[in-house]
């Protein structure tokens, strides 16, 4: 392969990392440039990723128009609700709230925005509350929403970010994007130019490319770690450095706005989705401990907590350059701004569309790099300043955190805008800025600024003319508002997400509180923990899943030989709690790092198995050096012929074992079988590479727990029980994985 150089045309694009950023980039590039470039995305299947609700802003419509997405389908796939703005509570002062709505307020004149006329009307006693002149604000406060003709209402979405990534993955793969499962072990560079040439995976595969997009999150593996682009911290303006996120069940109907609730040391979000509520808290670790922040978060949520919150550390700021050589960073790998104004997805979108505009089809040129970096810097600094505004302009004096924010020096452009508005009520924007005049006005006045003057053109209207003008706008808003249905009513009629037979908000395993843990010792001394009569009502659980079997899906590229369905959050939380309380000590685990689980069914004929599926395996994909994983299987079938779990140890050296596993990933089934003498079929007995060290028989409602580092396989005897595997529900199990720090 020739190394990537500035003169080489770009034909192979490699995206490092999935998630929201990776799959948004994959979707946009494949839609716009998919016929001209080969696009591959490398990601490692995550264990324990917390999928939180995420709020967006109306610019997302632009991306969806580019992708030609069906709005109803998108909403249903992501459990989305509608968003008309953000309620800021306790920001100006404790007990004082305001609303930042989308869209416009009133009608302005070319010389002056509407707020100038409102200020004049207020001076003369002719104006009511500023929000009375904004349809989006009034609709949000009355929990109403509907799509209106001619873009008559401005809105965004609350969505499940995990489901959004999955939705865009399906979209991208249908357009030819190739997903490669694997953990990046090394980034290859050209010795002379420093350009990236490939991603070396942990299993030995080399994914080569001409152009690379870094979506590896805060680690910034390509741009930061490999290319060494420095990170510029903005902590002196944005003091929060930590966050906690937690999901809760729904408590009442979802409101069409995000709540942002200020605390003495940070702020809390609440984002309602169709199936649950996303909650979180952003705070300064210098002003409050993690435990105190967690207690405050849990004391201020509604509904039942589905997962234990976990601390996330961050440094607000931006890479000095986000395009370096033949690598662009998009998403958290390029920088981080807290989600106060819901700009995270927008910044990914802008990074994508900017890249499409400047895509280096005929080779990477420094002028494109410079232009991309310049535009990115200008755009992110304005967003940064808008967020700083919320902290700096405040009347709060109740804590050192808020006093520090109020007294700090802010960037010069922001300082000018604040003073200009204080003096004249004017907001003078640069071309292409994200936030329009009405956004700045709502936050400026909402945070407590009352301008000393306003534009003199407003004084051209006498009291009657100005009163009629203001009254007419207010009445138009009120008339339209009366026609809008309730938010939930509109969702139910237009875009209700399919409800699982086991709804995430209520599903429980109902683990037997009297369950006894027994220990089976394998031939090598490792232990398997067995719990019989695990669930209190397994028949009801199976019946619910049978009614919901159409939602089981085979995951492309995943080695499991059959369809799967993610475990609802309530069940996962219950299973994780049982594991940590009853078995965490026995397995000598460190701090928990999360869990994932799925319902699974084995249905694949052994003659069609690929090389990976013919082998026993470990559950070690994507683990860092200081991490470990335990696993569990819950058998939910009564035909014991369908098989339990068999455990193995290798008969080879570690090097030879690693080589065999690598070959199973890269060789086709026939070549692998010829090389290692492994015939098609499920691995249930010893061979010349591995020997059996223990076998746990299947039993109705039995659960087993074990160290994921032990080689194991399902004890699948296809020839003896083929009809049973293909019956309903067949070999139905829960497969769970519990990630922890090593002690």
What CA–CA distance (Å, rounded) separates 495 from 575?
A: 32
Beta-bridged to residue 739, according to DSSP, are 594, 629
User: What strands, in cross-sheet order, belong to the sheet with 711-714?
Assistant: 690-696, 645-650, 711-714
Beta-bridged to residue 198, according to DSSP, are 188, 208
CA 197 to chain centre: 29
What CA–CA distance (Å, rounded) separates 305 from 417?
A: 42
What CA–CA distance (Å, rounded) separates 83 from 45?
A: 31
Residue 335: closest CA among 212, 414, 186, 219: 219
Q: Which of 83, 294, 350, 739 is catalytic?
A: 83
Element (H, E) at 158: strand 156-160
Phi, psi of 101 (to 5 degrees): -95, 160
What CA–CA distance (Å, rounded) separates 310 from 242?
A: 10
Supply 196's token pair: 């990236």
What CA–CA distance (Å, rounded) separates 437 from 426?
A: 9
Count Cβ atoms below 10 Å from residue 488 Cβ, excluding itself: 19
The vertex-703 CA angle with 699 and 706, nearest 5°, equals 125
Supply 259's token pair: 């709540």
How distant, in Å, are the alpha carbons of 78, 181, 297 from that of 735? 24, 19, 31
Supply 700's token pair: 């109705």
How distant, in Å, are the alpha carbons of 76, 242, 285, 306, 566 from that of 279? 21, 14, 19, 11, 21
Supply 132's token pair: 């009375």
What CA–CA distance (Å, rounded) separates 235 from 400?
A: 16
* Helix 161-174 × helix 19-33 angle, to 10°: 30
Tell me the pairing of strands 53-55 and 231-233. unpaired
Please name the residue that has the structure tokens 């843990």: 517
What number of CA atoms fall less than 13 Å from residue 409's CA on the CB side? Answer: 1
Phi, psi of 551 (to 5 degrees): -85, -10
* Helix 19-33 × helix 344-357 angle, to 10°: 30
Residue 380: closest CA among 415, 334, 426, 420: 334
Q: Say if CB 543 and CB 222 are below 8 A apart.
A: no
Q: What is the full DSSP assignment across 48-64?
A: S----EEE--TTHHHHH
Residues contacting 419, CB < 8 A, separation 6+ = none
Residue 177: closest CA among 33, 332, 61, 68: 33
DSSP state of 362: T
DSSP state of 667: S
User: What strands, in cross-sheet order, belong to the sheet with 53-55?
Assistant: 53-55, 156-160, 81-83
Q: Say if CB 521 and CB 695 are below 8 A apart.
A: no
Residues contacting 464, CB < 8 A, separation 6+ = none
Element (H, E) at 187: strand 184-189
Known catalytic residue: 83? yes
What CA–CA distance (Å, rounded) separates 305 from 317?
A: 31
Active site residues: 83
């Amino acid at each position: 392969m020739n190394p990537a150089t500035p003169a080489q045309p770009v034909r192979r694009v490699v995206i490092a990392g999935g998630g929201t950023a990776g799959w948004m980039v994959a979707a946009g590039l494949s839609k716009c440039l998919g016929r001209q470039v080969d696009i591959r995305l490398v990601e490692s299947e995550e264990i324990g990723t917390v999928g939180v609700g995420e709020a967006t802003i109306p610019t997302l419509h632009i991306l969806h128009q580019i992708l030609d997405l069906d709005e109803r389908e998108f909403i249903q796939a992501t459990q989305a609700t509608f968003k008309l703005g953000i309620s800021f509570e306790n920001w100006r002062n404790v007990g004082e709230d305001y609303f930042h709505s989308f869209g416009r307020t009133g009608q302005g004149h070319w010389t002056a925005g509407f707020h100038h006329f409102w200020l004049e009307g207020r001076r003369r006693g002719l104006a009511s509350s500023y929000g009375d002149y904004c349809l989006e604000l009034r609709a949000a406060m009355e929990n109403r929403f509907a799509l209106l003709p001619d873009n008559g209402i401005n809105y965004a979405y609350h969505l499940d970010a995990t489901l959004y990534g999955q939705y865009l993955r399906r979209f991208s793969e249908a357009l030819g994007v190739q997903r490669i499962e694997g953990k990046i072990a090394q980034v290859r560079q050209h010795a002379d130019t420093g350009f990236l040439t490939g991603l070396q995976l942990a299993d030995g595969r080399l994914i080569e490319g001409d152009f690379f997009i870094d979506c590896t999150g805060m680690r910034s593996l390509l741009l930061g770690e490999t290319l060494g682009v420095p990170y510029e911290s903005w902590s002196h303006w944005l003091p929060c450095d930590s966050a906690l996120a937690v999901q809760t069940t729904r408590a009442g109907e979802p409101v069409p706005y995000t709540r942002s609730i200020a605390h003495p040391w940070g702020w809390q979000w609440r984002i309602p989705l169709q199936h649950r509520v996303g909650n979180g808290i952003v705070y300064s670790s210098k002003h409050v401990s993690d435990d105190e922040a967690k207690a405050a978060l849990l004391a201020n949520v509604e509904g039942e907590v589905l997962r234990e919150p976990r601390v996330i550390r961050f440094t607000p700021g931006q890479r000095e350059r986000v395009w370096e050589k033949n690598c662009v960073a998009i998403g958290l790998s390029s920088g981080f701004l807290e989600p106060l104004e819901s700009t995270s997805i927008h910044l990914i979108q802008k990074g994508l569309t900017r890249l499409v505009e400047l895509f280096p089809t005929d080779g990477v040129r420094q002028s494109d790099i410079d232009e991309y970096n310049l535009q990115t810097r200008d755009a992110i600094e304005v967003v940064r300043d808008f967020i700083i505004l919320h902290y700096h302009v405040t009347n709060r004096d109740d804590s050192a955190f808020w006093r520090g924010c109020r007294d700090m020096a802010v960037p010069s452009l922001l300082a000018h805008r604040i003073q200009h508005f204080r003096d004249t009520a004017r907001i003078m924007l640069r071309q292409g800025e994200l936030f329009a005049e009405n956004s700045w006005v709502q936050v400026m006045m909402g945070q407590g600024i009352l301008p000393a003057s306003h534009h003199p053109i407003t004084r051209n209207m006498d009291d009657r003319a100005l009163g009629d003008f203001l009254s007419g706008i207010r009445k138009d808003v009120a008339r339209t508002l009366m026609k809008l249905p309730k938010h939930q009513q509109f969702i139910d009629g237009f875009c209700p997400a399919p409800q699982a037979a086991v709804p995430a908000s209520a599903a429980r395993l109902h683990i037997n509180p009297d369950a006894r843990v027994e220990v089976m010792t394998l031939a090598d001394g490792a232990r398997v923990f067995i719990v019989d009569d695990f669930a209190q009502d397994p028949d009801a659980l199976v019946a619910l899943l049978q009614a919901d079997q159409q939602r089981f899906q085979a995951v492309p590229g995943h080695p499991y030989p059959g369809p799967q369905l993610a475990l609802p959050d309530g069940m996962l939380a219950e299973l994780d709690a049982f594991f940590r309380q009853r078995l965490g000590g026995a397995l000598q685990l460190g701090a928990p790092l999360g869990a994932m689980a799925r319902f699974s069914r084995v249905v694949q004929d052994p003659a069609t198995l690929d090389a990976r599926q013919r082998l026993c395996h470990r559950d070690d994909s994507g683990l860092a050096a200081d991490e470990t994983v335990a696993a569990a299987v819950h058998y939910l079938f009564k035909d014991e012929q369908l098989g339990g779990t068999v455990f193995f140890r290798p008969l080879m050296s570690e090097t030879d074992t690693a080589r065999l596993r690598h070959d199973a990933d890269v060789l086709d089934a026939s070549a692998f079988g010829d090389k290692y003498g492994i015939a098609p079929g499920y691995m249930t007995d010893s061979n010349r590479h591995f020997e059996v060290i223990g076998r746990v028989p299947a039993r109705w409602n039995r659960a087993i727990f074990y160290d994921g580092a032990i080689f194991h396989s399902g004890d699948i005897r296809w020839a003896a029980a083929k009809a049973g595997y293909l019956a309903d529900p067949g070999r139905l199990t829960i497969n769970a994985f519990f990630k922890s720090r090593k002690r």
